Amino acid sequence: MNTSPYLRKTTAVNSVMLRVLIALLPAICAYAWQFGAAILVQLAISTATALFAEAAMLAARGKPARLYLTDLSAVVTAWLIALSFSPITPWWLMVTATLVAIVIAKHLYGGLGQNPFNPAMVAFCTMIVAFPALMSQWPGAGQLDFHTQLELILGGARQLDAITAATPLDALRTGLREGGADVTVPGLMAGPAFGALGGAGWEWIALGYLIGGLFLLQQRIITWHMPAAFLLALAATALLMWGMRPDRFGSPIFHLASGGTMLAAFFIVTDPVSGATTPKGKLIFAAAIGALTYVIRSFGAYPDGIAFAVLLLNICVPLIDMQTQPPVFGHKRD
């Protein structure tokens, strides 16, 4: 039976997802320019794996494959994974991570729209817990040529410590921890791994994400709530600590421009499926992730805290949503 409304807007899920992918392009370009083409290889690996896993899961669950494959949600997940992993991650690790995201985090919970956790972040956390060493090897900007990168990805000998540096975030923390009292943040930041604002090269990528994020805002695919709350909360916590001990903690600018901050602000925290949905809830959700990220970055054992912060807050989503239901028409004053 056909019922009203008989008119529909023509936007479909795949057009939303497509625009998200487009919004990722500036950052990918910056990435390839700063760190070499390895990221493109990673994107290809994860996309292929994701599509394959999605198709297999849809077939297993008796769902129409073409309909759901063309919604492009698997591709978005794949790209987010590739972008949040090191560009020299071995291929099998990338494949495993993507499988974890699609099969476990997405389909075992019921597929598109049903997953309580952000699939990309589930993949990240699982891998960092399982392979902490491999996950913390990041090349410096322009450090490795494409050939070496490819060799690393496809599993050549890994003389790793020689060729890779830790991420700026990692470097900062370990540097502070191991260096004793005479090592200070300004001192460390003068090193080659750091650029003007954050990590060398990372600033450009962050700028790319920022441009993409503004595009999404302009397209009304995301609302301002989450990015603003996330960035503000992260900056505010950083400012607080930095204000007290500028020699022991990174500046707010450093935190905004490093690691996955910008990626998270516009593409990960804003994942609608696993995030809070009410306007107030979005603010709380994103702000909590921001603050938690800072805490894990500064005091935890892992290079970046975003993934854990996101998963922790994913758990709280039902509660946040329930507590922040906006007032309904006509019931506003009671």
Where along the sequence are the contacts to another protein (CB under 8 A)? 1-9, 11-13, 15-16, 63-68, 71, 73, 110-114, 223, 272-273, 275, 277-278, 321, 325-332
Residue 199 in tokens:
């990590």
Residues 6+ apart with CB under 8 A from 25: 212
Identity of the residue numbered 303: P
Q: How far apart, in whole angstroms, are the C-alpha atoms of residue 228 and residue 219?
A: 17
Q: Which two tokens stand for residue 153?
A: 């990805």
Of the two residues 10 and 159, which places its CB atom closer to another protein in the complex?
Answer: 10
Q: Exposed/middle/buried for 2, CB within 10 Å: 0-12, 13-18, 19+?
A: exposed
Q: How far is the CB of 71 from another protein (least distance, A)?
A: 7
CB 72 within 8 A of CB 136: no
The residue among 94 and 273 lying less far from another protein, judged by its C-beta, is 273
DSSP-derived secondary structure for 149-161: HHHHHTT----HH
Closer to another protein at the Cβ: 126 or 277? 277
Cβ distance 306 to 293 under 8 Å? Answer: yes
Shortest distance in whole angstroms from residue 227 CB to another protein: 15
**Token pair for residue 144?**
């490795």
231 three-class SS = helix
Is the CB of 165 or the CB of 222 nearer to another protein? 222
Least CB distance to another protein at residue 194 (A): 38
Distance in Å, CB of 311 to another protein, minimum: 17
Q: What is the spatial distance between Cα 283 and Cα 277, in angstroms, rounded to a whole number?
A: 10
Of residues 97 and 226, the one with the C-beta less far from another protein: 226
Q: Rounded distance, CA 180 to CA 113, Å?
A: 48
Closest CB to another protein among residues 13, 232: 13
Tokens of 255: 């935190």
For residue 53, give every residue at least 6 positions away whose Cβ sits within 8 Å of its Cβ, in sequence order, or none: 74, 98, 99, 102, 103
Q: Which is nearer to another protein, 52 or 91 (CB)?
A: 52
Least distance in angstroms from the C-beta of 4 to another protein? 5
CA-closest candidate to residue 211, choices 285, 267, 252 = 267
Distance CA 263, CA 82 (A): 12
CB of 193 to another protein, least distance (A): 39
Residue nearer to another protein on the CB measure, 64 or 186: 64
Least CB distance from residue 284 to another protein, whole Å? 15
Q: For residues 2 and 240, what is the distance between their CA atoms, to the nearest angstrom?
A: 58
The nearest distance, CB 276 to another protein, in angstroms, is: 9
